[in-house]
Amino acid sequence: MKRNFSRIFFFGVFIFTVILTNGCATTYNAATGRREIIIIPTNEEVTMGEDIHRKLLTEFHLSQDKNKVGRLKRIGARVSQVSDRQDFEYHFFLVEKDELNAFTVPGGNIYMFTGLFDKLKTDDEIAGVLAHEVGHCAARHTIKKFQAAVSYSLIGSIILNTLQMEEQLQRIATLSTDVLMNLVFSAYGRRDEFEADRLGIKYLDLAGYNVNGMLEVLDVLKQESKGPRMPLILQTHPYVEDRIEAVKKEIERLRSGG
Ligand SMILES: [Zn+2]
């Protein structure tokens, strides 16, 4: 009992040390307006994203259609330029797959499937999807899913054995690929979805796109969810009906200058 307590105490000291060695106890997040504890620094996050990208390329093919890829990257660049988070570069990838899906991995890599891209008619709608994903990046929702998993893994290993602190730190970047992949395709929470929509609308507006693009995309997903195949994007981004109501209110608020 006493032994367990001392290890839990050690974990507290460890987290405190990680926070100290990262420069400060909390970081102000301009997108959310909150101060947050960020354990995984940006360079570590980018490395994690590169690892996941390599793994994704073994499972998926990127589209070779220069027009479509160019359009996606052009719209993505315009939307991400106005993001509150600029400590990494954003990259946009079009995956050749006939499914309605879009997702984000740590480090600013954002993916859209051709099935969704082809379903969207206007640049405003494509921008709507990308702005929502950029919102997840800016608010650090994506890295926080991973950070939570890292923390659990660290707590477990520290309590169960006595690895040195250096080794524990190295573990941050070496979660198994299966764990990483499961996290990529795991759902965001309700609050994160609403926040990504709110930020997405803000970025659409700042980038000069029609904010209705966001609403049109959600309507497409709502219609498709009634069909034979549930859109994959709703697995990672649930609560579509409630989001439509919240997005309408947010657009009204924006128009009334509130
Ligand atoms: Zn989302």
What is the reported pLDDT for 20?
53
What is the reported pLDDT for 90?
98
pLDDT digits (tens, 9 = 90+) for 229-240: 889 888 888 899
CA of 192 to the centre of ligand 1 (A): 7
CA of 127 to the centre of ligand 1 (A): 14
Task: Give the H/E segment covering residue 132.
Answer: helix 123-138
CA of 2 to the centre of ligand 1 (A): 43
What is the reported pLDDT for 41?
85
| CA–CA separation, 153 and 175 (whole Å) | 8
Contact partners, residue 235, CB within 8 Å, separation at least 6: 185, 187
CA of 164 to the centre of ligand 1 (A): 37
CA of 79 to the centre of ligand 1 (A): 16
CA of 14 to the centre of ligand 1 (A): 32
| CA–CA separation, 111 and 185 (whole Å) | 12
CA of 186 to the centre of ligand 1 (A): 11
CA of 27 to the centre of ligand 1 (A): 23
With CA atoms as reference, report the closest residue to 142 among 111, 177, 107, 93: 107
CA of 191 to the centre of ligand 1 (A): 10
What is the reported pLDDT for 1?
46
CA of 135 to the centre of ligand 1 (A): 8
Tell me which residues of the chain have a pLDDT lower than 50. 1-2, 23-24
Kindly list the protein residues that place their beta carbon closer than 5 angstroms to ligand 1, a single-atom ion: 193, 196, 237
Q: Could you report how far apart the first and last alpha carbons of the chain are, in Å?
A: 56
CA of 104 to the centre of ligand 1 (A): 9
C-alpha separations of 252 from 145, 168, 201, 219, 245 in Å = 31, 48, 11, 17, 11
C-alpha separations of 191 from 106, 141, 194 in Å = 19, 10, 5
CA of 68 to the centre of ligand 1 (A): 23
C-alpha separations of 69 from 95, 136, 214 in Å = 9, 22, 20
C-alpha separations of 101 from 96, 117, 231, 232 in Å = 11, 9, 7, 5
Local structure of residue 62 (DSSP, 8 states): B
What is the reported pLDDT for 242?
93
With CA atoms as reference, report the closest residue to 178 among 58, 74, 83, 89: 58
CA of 145 to the centre of ligand 1 (A): 12
DSSP helix/strand/coil, 18: helix
With CA atoms as reference, report the closest residue to 200 among 210, 185, 190: 210
pTM of the model: 0.84
| CA–CA separation, 37 and 249 (whole Å) | 31
Alpha-carbon Rg for the chain, nearest whole angstrom, is 20
CA of 159 to the centre of ligand 1 (A): 34
For the stretch 4-12, contacts whose Cβ atoms lie closer than 8 Å and that sit 24 or more positions apart, written own/partner, are 4/159, 7/158, 7/159, 7/162, 8/159, 10/158, 11/154, 11/155, 11/158, 11/159
CA of 4 to the centre of ligand 1 (A): 39
- What is the pairing mode between strands 27-29 and 102-105? unpaired
CA of 21 to the centre of ligand 1 (A): 31
